[in-house]
Structure 1
């Protein structure tokens, strides 16, 4: 037995590091599959569709919140961390989902919303009673200024002050989002303990990891100091629209506090009690995203990986911007790990955001599958779905309702998944969907694309499969990052495998020099071209190149 110990240790390490380079498929449960005809997606619906998800070749699913909630922010306002909201099913349904996913070899990550709760959570209902109860300091309470105004100038992402007056306590409470989402006070040790207990509850049920919502919002400045103004030239918000005054502040004190590191170490220590568990943190900061990513993922005692918002912004992704982002990541997170995404439930779908042609869509996912880091794909992205046009009278998102018409909210990326063309609901539900199914999406349904190998769905499968079969692309290093005009290029290497990657991110042909060495083209299924005999690489519009080094010792 002893002679096999190194091999077993290597296998155990690989199992524990499944997240590193993983492709994670995000599911917005309200909109994925309705199994009972009430017009709202549910856990049993997700279980029904797991074979489809497995067919994509992804490693894991991330399910957005399904906990008990009054749904003022569609599950991101939790009233019971340890139960399933009845609209999504019950705990037994979640257990069945876990078992089915694991049988298919899929990991399951769930969304933990730790920075705030619903105002209907029992903790908050106790906290509001008076200033001396057991949970009086579980939320961020503060006295008004002498003139009765809020204690400082902090603003809510959803509009207006981040403080709400409570007459019973004659104090304000902090809410970085809706007034019905009071912020927990992480300076109180009992709050941290309670949240770690809820985390353990889900670990014991078999989850493989967590997506941590607004991970940099956990702590607020203990002194509640005013945020300074943010110069106009630095206002580059990704999710909060330009019409929102939230973007006029540098959020120096309302988030990103240094005390957060100690809590993240406690969280990681808990996860390490369960081998093979992992977490990805959402860093909500348009100015300091990569710096925070570096802080939070440094070493092996904090969060496994984070994603910032660099590739979720409205500004189109160019070769220069990718190189700049990756170089800054190397600077700020030399030992950290990023998780990249182009779309999610909070931003306009990237096909619309960047006005991508079919060829550009294929090139972008091919490039994403080649980057150092892990990757999150958002449901429907694999179908090339554009943003849905949702009329004002159909809006559900409080964010969009508040800032309409300058900002139409997040409902356009949250409309139901389209499975088939047999009815106006796209196979999502037999009932009336909570958001209308986009008619523009029906011709892009799963069933319609399955029959045509040239569709986006099949290209996603090919790109994901190509990544999975090349270790250099999943966990390898990247070097020689270059932007030559519209062409992005870099080298990925892992042990003996070295791959040169290039992407023409434009609709005009481009030519660049190949690196020195003996290179063999690979990835024919992705429409690649190879180096010419003169050492040049001639790339057509939106064309990639992958070339494997044949040089010994590289």
Structure 2
């Protein structure tokens, strides 16, 4: 029996606060028809894996019609499914099965830009006087024929491309085949909000908004100022990209976005218990912008910045710094944290290149992530402890990596197919002789079948820890208070509705001893970590953790 979105959400309109959201990159999750590319039917077939893991919701990266220059993040039709992934009927079936399993469904909305193959852009570029002439960001050349200003594309080079038909430049923050929509135009806003209603009527429970701070540009097209070298941060773009040389105050992060986000939220509120999470891509003002976008209860329910997706090594001091900076920047806001996604090096590799016991490291990182204040995104394969794949240049698909190779190898290394069966062709992902990206041997050995039922595996740890987390509301809903501890020990309490939980993590490869704070503490079990408490001292093994409840 199918459960409607309304019935699924009616019991908790605040379901998103503290939710665990499992991200699916559809090209790489499960291929149901043998073409080497994952699809919607494949996702539906694998939903029991996500239910058994214990996730509350799934976030599906784009599956809309697209020329696939940026693998779905260049949308040519917002209200359909690309035949590569299936049909609207397949999506409806996915929704029904997810709801039957009590999993909510969030989809990726890419509305800062479209594909240049979208009907809107085809009409817009046809002349300067057509009904959609102002639906994209067009500007005349400077007198010498150069672009209107110094804005840069994240994918390299100028953010302006010349169109010979209109004899004007159009703006593209990403590929030149991804022209930016002009959200200063109310008609564009209305059309995009109609897209939102289209998917809400099909039963989705929410959205992930791609590049949410890129929606508006400066009407005067003023040049971005240079950014001092000491302020450059490579979390939004790789260090080899000159995009990091500017302070992006005119090509994104514009104040007009706040009014649009209020309009967006009003549409969400037309339906029961819908939630949205926004991706804020900015290396200098990320948390400040998150605070703006999640304040007041009339914009985004939650956002995430790039602090935990950046290359910076994760340390106890770093975790406390990020959480405290978020609390200061967004006192009314709610974060959604992730350590990995489809755009960054998998965190086990990004932070653990020198770590000998990768499994213990992966388990501890999962427990840290799942006990932070905020909601959580888990990226497919993370629950298996997958590392970043090393993709040869000949096998690269990502235009980003091709552009900046070899200093930056792109995003294909985190997008390789999911591994289900260590003994099957293509690890159970596909029956094709060659999937769209190769599957590394080291991933095959970490397939679901190789870990399922083995108590010490990373997969069983994720299942166990998610079950442990569900037993304590403070982990999902509570406040966080950091405690003084040795430099290698991360210590904090989670507090909610009278419940007070202690979390200690030894973020090093050597045993350490930590003192138990004063009070009546009861040691918690069922989380899978082994620590010894004796005479008020906790012996934490390498990459170990300890949990207790007060009173």
* TM-score bucket (shorter structure): over 0.9
The 8 Å contact of residues 530 and 546 in structure 1, kept in 2 or not, is answered as no
Q: Counterpart of 2:38 in 1: which secondary structure?
A: coil
Deviation at 1:514, TM superposition (A): 2.4
Given candidates 183, 204, 208, the residue that maps to 2:205 is: 208
Q: Counterpart of 2:423 in 1: which secondary structure?
A: coil
Q: How does 1:108-507 map to 2 (within 5 A)?
A: 108-355=105-352, 356=355, 357-431=358-432, 432-482=434-484, 484-507=486-509
Deviation at 1:249, TM superposition (A): 0.8
Given candidates 58, 65, 70, the residue that maps to 1:68 is: 65
Measured in 1, the distance between the counterparts of 2:361 and 2:271 equals: 41
Correspondence for 2:3: none
The 8 Å contact of residues 57 and 465 in structure 1, kept in 2 or not, is answered as yes
Deviation at 1:317, TM superposition (A): 0.5
Q: How does 1:73-84 map to 2 (within 5 A)?
A: 73-84=70-81
Measured in 1, the distance between the counterparts of 2:466 and 2:491 equals: 19
The 8 Å contact of residues 419 and 445 in structure 1, kept in 2 or not, is answered as yes
Describe the shift of the 1:523–1:316 C-alpha distance in structure 2 as closer, same or farther (beyond 3 A): farther
Q: Counterpart of 2:80 in 1: which secondary structure?
A: strand
Cα shift readout 1:37-95 (whole Å, capped 9, x = no counterpart): 01100000000000111000000000000000000000000000000000000000000
Q: Which 5+ residue runs of structure 1 have no aligned equivalent?
A: 1-10
Q: Counterpart of 1:312 in 2: which secondary structure?
A: coil
Measured in 1, the distance between the counterparts of 2:546 and 2:116 equals: 53
Q: Counterpart of 1:80 in 2: which secondary structure?
A: coil
Deviation at 1:143, TM superposition (A): 0.7
Correspondence for 2:5: none
Measured in 2, the distance between the counterparts of 1:240 and 1:280 equals: 21
Describe the shift of the 1:481–1:303 C-alpha distance in structure 2 as closer, same or farther (beyond 3 A): farther
The Cα RMSD (Å) is 1.3
Measured in 2, the distance between the counterparts of 1:420 and 1:162 equals: 44
Measured in 1, the distance between the counterparts of 2:260 and 2:525 equals: 44
Measured in 1, the distance between the counterparts of 2:411 and 2:58 equals: 21
Measured in 1, the distance between the counterparts of 2:533 and 2:221 equals: 59
Describe the shift of the 1:139–1:365 C-alpha distance in structure 2 as closer, same or farther (beyond 3 A): same
Deviation at 1:540, TM superposition (A): 2.0
Describe the shift of the 1:389–1:12 C-alpha distance in structure 2 as closer, same or farther (beyond 3 A): closer
Measured in 2, the distance between the counterparts of 1:482 and 1:403 equals: 42
The 8 Å contact of residues 276 and 301 in structure 2, kept in 1 or not, is answered as yes
Q: How does 1:507-518 map to 2 (within 5 A)?
A: 507-518=509-520
Deviation at 1:299, TM superposition (A): 2.1
| TM-score for both structures, normalised by structure 1 | 0.95
1:17 equivalenced with 2:19 (yes/no): no
Deviation at 1:528, TM superposition (A): 4.2
Q: Counterpart of 2:505 in 1: which secondary structure?
A: strand
Measured in 1, the distance between the counterparts of 2:267 and 2:217 equals: 23
1:526 equivalenced with 2:528 (yes/no): yes
After superposing the two structures, state which structure 1 stretch, 494-503 or 505-514, moved more. Answer: 505-514
Deviation at 1:240, TM superposition (A): 1.7
1:29 equivalenced with 2:26 (yes/no): yes
Measured in 2, the distance between the counterparts of 1:383 and 1:145 equals: 53
Deviation at 1:507, TM superposition (A): 1.1
Correspondence for 1:93: 90
Deviation at 1:343, TM superposition (A): 0.5
Correspondence for 1:7: none
The 8 Å contact of residues 351 and 385 in structure 1, kept in 2 or not, is answered as yes
Correspondence for 2:4: none
Q: Counterpart of 1:329 in 2: which secondary structure?
A: helix
Describe the shift of the 1:491–1:277 C-alpha distance in structure 2 as closer, same or farther (beyond 3 A): same
Q: Counterpart of 1:26 in 2: which secondary structure?
A: strand
Deviation at 1:482, TM superposition (A): 4.1
The number of aligned residues is 539
The 8 Å contact of residues 323 and 482 in structure 1, kept in 2 or not, is answered as no
Describe the shift of the 1:107–1:12 C-alpha distance in structure 2 as closer, same or farther (beyond 3 A): closer
Measured in 1, the distance between the counterparts of 2:159 and 2:530 equals: 51
Correspondence for 1:8: none
Q: Counterpart of 2:534 in 1: which secondary structure?
A: coil
Describe the shift of the 1:327–1:410 C-alpha distance in structure 2 as closer, same or farther (beyond 3 A): same
